[in-house]
Amino acid sequence: MKRTLIVGNWKMNLDTSQASLLVHRLEERIKIHQDIEVVLAPSLLTLQPLSLQIDRRKFRLAAQNAYLKDEGAFTGEVSFTMLRDLVHYVIVGHSERRLYFHEDLDMVRDKVAAAIRNEITPILCVGETQVERRAGETKQVLHDQIMSALSNLTDQEVSEVVIAYEPVWAISTFSGILAKPDEVKQALVFIRKQVEDLYGSRAAKKIRVLYGGSVDDQIVGGYLEIEGCDGVLVGGASLNYHKFSGIVEKAYAVKHAPEKESDGEDS
């Protein structure tokens, strides 16, 4: 059975002592669950101290970004190579990176390849803007983002990638409109179909697909109950220990609900 993945993206919030306090609070509340994987993505600066603090049975770490080259004259950047002993995951292609830092399809593709090269699992964010959705371009945008990001990978490598569907219009810091579970379901099915068409059914079955966009402890169940939703990427609510631990609890409850059928696939 796949483990449900709950990722907290703290963005550019919390200094070292605030981050340490949040981890302490989360550790008090979150239990060890074999079938739930809880991933924290703090700022780059706090990854090192948190790597010493966290209970590794409860948490894994992710970076929010890294540079696509492994080393060299790239002032101000940190490479995937430098992060490989610190993190299990790196978020790649987040909409804030695409919009504010002009990361284009080629950069995202090269970052996904750099993550895989350095044995870090990329969490590839894809999703359409409100304008693109209104113009009926959602499928085309998702197709282009997925095709291009995975284009340098083998079938086996693709199956290890995590894809997070994050419609830009649903992210709390943009417009924060709540996506309906039905809308999310359609996108998740489409994303998995793209992977199947390009890399075969084995990769499509194995790849983990998450949802992200204004998720909190009150509404997370509606998304996690969608068939084929392997977890959530949480921004704002991950900074609140009540909400984030509530999300993990809810994920456990959904996973263990009597009517939930397992797909029998190992992650």
Element (H, E) at 60: strand 59-63
Nearest to 90 by CA among 82, 80, 81, 101: 80
Nearest to 62 by CA among 26, 43, 94, 89: 89
**Rounded Cα–Cα distance for residues 149 and 196 (Å):** 15
Query: Which residue, 162 or 203, is less far from ligand PEP as judged by CB?
Result: 162
**Rounded Cα–Cα distance for residues 8 and 233 (Å):** 6
Which ranges of the chain does DSSP label H, i.e. alpha helix?
16-29, 44-53, 80-83, 95-100, 105-117, 130-134, 138-149, 155-160, 181-199, 201-206, 220-224, 241-255
**Rounded Cα–Cα distance for residues 216 and 238 (Å):** 8
Query: Which residue, 37 or 157, is less far from ligand PEP as judged by CB?
Result: 37
Residues near ligand PEP (CB under 6 A): 9, 166, 171-173, 212-215, 233-237
Query: Which residue, 93 or 157, is less far from ligand PEP as judged by CB?
Result: 93
**Considering 33, 37, 94, 143, which one is annotated as catalytic?**
94
Minimum gap (Å) between residue 149 Cβ and ligand PEP = 16
Secondary structure (3-state) at 95: helix
**Considering 37, 128, 160, 166, which one is annotated as catalytic?**
166
Minimum gap (Å) between residue 5 Cβ and ligand PEP = 13
Nearest to 244 by CA among 212, 210, 209, 220: 220
259 labelled catalytic: no
Query: Which residue, 159 or 236, is less far from ligand PEP as judged by CB?
Result: 236
Minimum gap (Å) between residue 170 Cβ and ligand PEP = 7
119 labelled catalytic: no
Which residue in this structure is represented by tokens 């068409």? Answer: 197
Q: Which two tokens stand for residue 181?
A: 């579970």
Give the phi and the psi of residue 232 in degrees, each rounded to 5.
-140, 150
Minimum gap (Å) between residue 62 Cβ and ligand PEP = 11
Minimum gap (Å) between residue 213 Cβ and ligand PEP = 5
Query: Which residue, 37 or 96, is less far from ligand PEP as judged by CB?
Result: 96
Residues annotated catalytic, as ranges: 94, 166
